[in-house]
Amino acid sequence: MRNPTYFTLVRLDDGDLASLTIIREPTQFFAQLRSYGFTEHASASSPALAKMQTAAFLDTVAGVCSVSLDRPFTFIIPGGISRAEWLTAMEEKAHDPRFGLMERDGEISHCMIVPRLR
């Protein structure tokens, strides 16, 4: 079983959109923030990460990116759903085995594995 992988769009403080991909391990994470013109990476390690619920974990990632990358952002929650519903969907997608990661030239992209039709 793979580690949970979160991916979503975020809005940077300057108004631009960026993609955020996070690989979560029990006591550490690796995050990639990518937008037109830049790809940056951040990571952190702490035993406290193991016990964090999704909301606190994602807020921690946002804080680390804001400080270490100097790229503050806000999560984009689609209209018509609550933050709690969005967090539940993020967690379900993070564990969905159909989603995978590919790395090329130091950049991570996520993809969906389409089941084969028989």
Give residue limits of the domains in the chain: 5-112
- Rounded to whole angstroms, the Cα distance separating 60 from 66 reads 10
The per-residue b/e assignment along 69-92, b for 16 or more CB within 10 angstroms, e otherwise, is eebebebeeeeeeeeeebbeebbe
Residue 1 is predicted with a pLDDT of 64
Residue 96 is predicted with a pLDDT of 85
Tokens matching residue 90: 């993020």
3-state percent helix, strand, coil for the chain, nearest multiple of 5 = 30, 40, 30
| 118 residues of the chain, pLDDT tens digit each | 678 989 999 999 999 999 999 999 999 999 999 998 898 999 999 999 999 999 999 999 999 999 888 999 999 999 999 999 999 999 998 988 877 666 666 666 656 566 666 6
pTM of the model: 0.84
Residue 2 is predicted with a pLDDT of 74
